[in-house]
Chain A
């Protein structure tokens, strides 16, 4: 049974005397077991999270500080480096590196918040639909179909246009985006998991429905939901960037990756870095998240877990 000791849950249950190896070395072993692509993706995401957390301290300049004497400086150019603008400046002479750091912070935070809200909301409604059945189920599924049939960009544009653009509304929109996939997924998975022998066994113990769904069934259907989360996260980033690119998302003076991309569009031929740099960050984070999510799916299945 020594192979069981490698899992986190097992570590927690293990008596201190017979713990096969310390936590740190187990982590190291797990890190080494990762394929190179996953290690790279994890590294990029760690950098993105660190940047998102500490952008304001890391930025060499304020992201709003203009310097009209040093406009549109080329990245790594002698003149730009001498002025401290390592990644150049934009049309108002603002430091691109500083703006990029803050934009990453805003975009990652919004996408994270939105994804979590969507996942929790969708899964909760999915559980409700599966457990209650009847008209509750039909209502939830009708809402799912309705949202799936409407292009979300249209809903978002309409809501932002009618209700005005506030950060709270924008976060709410990010959260509503994609809830229906979790709801549909969770409902279907739970309906089939509920018929399994272990579900009947837990019911025969006299466990309450909350306990059955949250402690027994949900962990069993977690991996498809996590995969969905990893697919949804990049989509949420892309939604945020699309709306900001269209000028309906994050409003200046605050910035985001999409907003930077939108501004850079006008200078594609003369100042490529204004669009390419935020575009690359979007590409790198979304791709990393997808790779990591796929790997996570394999890891979450205990029968697929390698020694």
Chain B
């Protein structure tokens, strides 16, 4: 399948599950996902919602992961966080998080792995789409932030309380002392998301995965949360994997961007480059159908057709049936990645002309 040049070296090696070694980890990447393939068994046979995703989140920067609903963004995140639902099976792939490495091909789970699994999860933090559902309804907000800190660091109740107050203040919650005693149903959506971010930041994780973190919020609150996240990232030097289907948000937040389509990453590169000179016809199509204020466009230009069903094996490019530039070769032979300028990679036989 498709493998990025930087991770091809890793994928070719034989590695055991859950190995931890600092020697081979390049200093610049916090998270590396290599050739991830996930499968779900259904009544009509297995489907592959993720087939061959590779991406890299460099230290201290933000990777924007964009794509339409059902393209595998969330499953990729859950795989990275080791939170895959039980009905999803990893076929192959490898994920590296800081100094830990995990091969996903075995699928076997042994009891010895439990400690490593917890250690893995403690290195990253997730901010979920629906903050109201992601908070425990019967515990106070303060208790939950304290708990997050205690799980990560094993700190005492007293230390956790001081830390929680500091975190709530840091994420911009007014009067954190009294808000500590509030229950989640007493908070607004924006306030809950701030609490979720406070929980995520507890114990200083090196990677923050924000899975549609602002989608459930209205636009003004969304802007506040995005500003907060950028501020905190600059302050704490945390790497962020920012998942969204909002192109405008990606342009604002991300340093680099990865565009997903039907379970694969079709294009990655620095945000400015990808947005100004998209190489993949899908990216170009997406950008064409986003409304813009700086140009006079009478009608938006949608992409014809619809997303293909995620069947197990497919030949050629998944976007070929909808692609205006497709040729006969696109439906038969698999696409490989080609570099196009520094750090700009596209998976297409006929990329857009520069």
Q: Does A215 contact B (CB under 8 A)?
A: yes
Of residues 142 through 200 on chain B, the ones whose CB sits less than 8 Å from some CB of chain A are 142-143, 147-148, 151-152, 177-183, 185-186, 196, 199
Distance between A1 CB and nearest chain B CB, rounded to angstroms: 5
Q: Does A18 contact B (CB under 8 A)?
A: yes
Contact of A198 among B122, B135, B177 (CB under 8 A): B135
Closest chain A residue, CB of each to CB of B129: A197
Q: Are A204 and B136 in contact, CB atoms less than 8 angstroms apart?
A: no
Distance between A28 CB and nearest chain B CB, rounded to angstroms: 21
B residues in contact with A196, CB < 8 Å: 133
Q: Does B118 contact A (CB under 8 A)?
A: yes
Q: Are A13 and B121 in contact, CB atoms less than 8 angstroms apart?
A: no
Closest chain A residue, CB of each to CB of B202: A205
Q: Are A219 and B186 in contact, CB atoms less than 8 angstroms apart?
A: no
Interface centre among A9, A201, A202, A208 (most CB of B within 10 A): A201
B residues in contact with A205, CB < 8 Å: 121-122, 125, 147-148, 151-152, 199
Q: Are A15 and B121 in contact, CB atoms less than 8 angstroms apart?
A: no
Q: Does A5 contact B (CB under 8 A)?
A: yes
Interface centre among A1, A14, A216 (most CB of B within 10 A): A1
A residues in contact with B180, CB < 8 Å: 13
A residues in contact with B120, CB < 8 Å: 206
Q: Does A32 contact B (CB under 8 A)?
A: no
Q: Are A211 and B179 in contact, CB atoms less than 8 angstroms apart?
A: no
Q: Does A299 contact B (CB under 8 A)?
A: no
Q: Does B288 contact A (CB under 8 A)?
A: no
Interface centre among A9, A200, A206 (most CB of B within 10 A): A206
A86 to B167: give the CA distance in the assembly, Å.
Answer: 66
For the residues of A in contact with B, the DSSP-based class is helix
Contact of B134 among A1, A200, A211, A222 (CB under 8 A): A200
Q: Does B274 contact A (CB under 8 A)?
A: no
Q: Are A303 and B185 in contact, CB atoms less than 8 angstroms apart?
A: yes
Q: Are B140 and A10 in contact, CB atoms less than 8 angstroms apart?
A: yes
Instruction: Tell me whether A1 and B179 are in contact in the complex, defined as CB-CB below 8 angstroms, given that A10-B140, A205-B151, A303-B185 are known contacts.
Output: yes
Distance between B158 CB and nearest chain A CB, rounded to angstroms: 12
A residues in contact with B135, CB < 8 Å: 197-198, 201
Q: Are B126 and A14 in contact, CB atoms less than 8 angstroms apart?
A: no
Distance between A80 CB and nearest chain B CB, rounded to angstroms: 54
A203 to B128: give the CA distance in the assembly, Å.
Answer: 12
Contact of B83 among A13, A200, A208, A222 (CB under 8 A): A200
Q: Does A306 contact B (CB under 8 A)?
A: no
A4 to B119: give the CA distance in the assembly, Å.
Answer: 36
Contact of B121 among A18, A206, A211 (CB under 8 A): A206
Q: Does B137 contact A (CB under 8 A)?
A: yes
B residues in contact with A201, CB < 8 Å: 126, 128, 134-135, 196, 199
Q: Does A207 contact B (CB under 8 A)?
A: yes
B residues in contact with A206, CB < 8 Å: 118-122, 151-152
Interface centre among B120, B135, B178, B181 (most CB of A within 10 A): B181
Interface flags for A200-240 (1: CB within 8 Å of B; 0: not) read: 11111111100100011001101000000000000000000
Of residues 183 through 199 on chain A, the ones whose CB sits less than 8 Å from some CB of chain B are 196-198
Q: Does A302 contact B (CB under 8 A)?
A: yes
B residues in contact with A1, CB < 8 Å: 178-179, 181-182, 186
Distance between B114 CB and nearest chain A CB, rounded to angstroms: 8
A202 to B135: give the CA distance in the assembly, Å.
Answer: 9
Distance between A305 CB and nearest chain B CB, rounded to angstroms: 9
Q: Are B125 and A204 in contact, CB atoms less than 8 angstroms apart?
A: yes
Q: Are A203 and B177 in contact, CB atoms less than 8 angstroms apart?
A: no
Distance between B216 CB and nearest chain A CB, rounded to angstroms: 11
Instruction: Tell me whether A4 and B136 are in contact in the complex, defined as CB-CB below 8 angstroms, given that A13-B180, A197-B130, A203-B83 are known contacts.
Output: no
B residues in contact with A15, CB < 8 Å: 177
21 A-B residue pairings within 8 Å (CB atoms): A4-B186, A9-B143, A18-B178, A197-B128, A197-B135, A198-B133, A198-B136, A201-B135, A201-B196, A203-B121, A204-B83, A204-B124, A205-B121, A205-B122, A206-B120, A206-B121, A222-B138, A302-B138, A302-B185, A303-B137, A303-B185
Given contacts A10-B181, A203-B83, A204-B81, could you give 6 more A-B pairs where the C-beta distance is less than 8 Å? A1-B178, A1-B186, A14-B181, A200-B128, A205-B122, A207-B151
Partner-A contacts on B (CB < 8 A): 81, 83, 118-122, 124-126, 128, 130, 133-140, 142-143, 147-148, 151-152, 177-183, 185-186, 196, 199
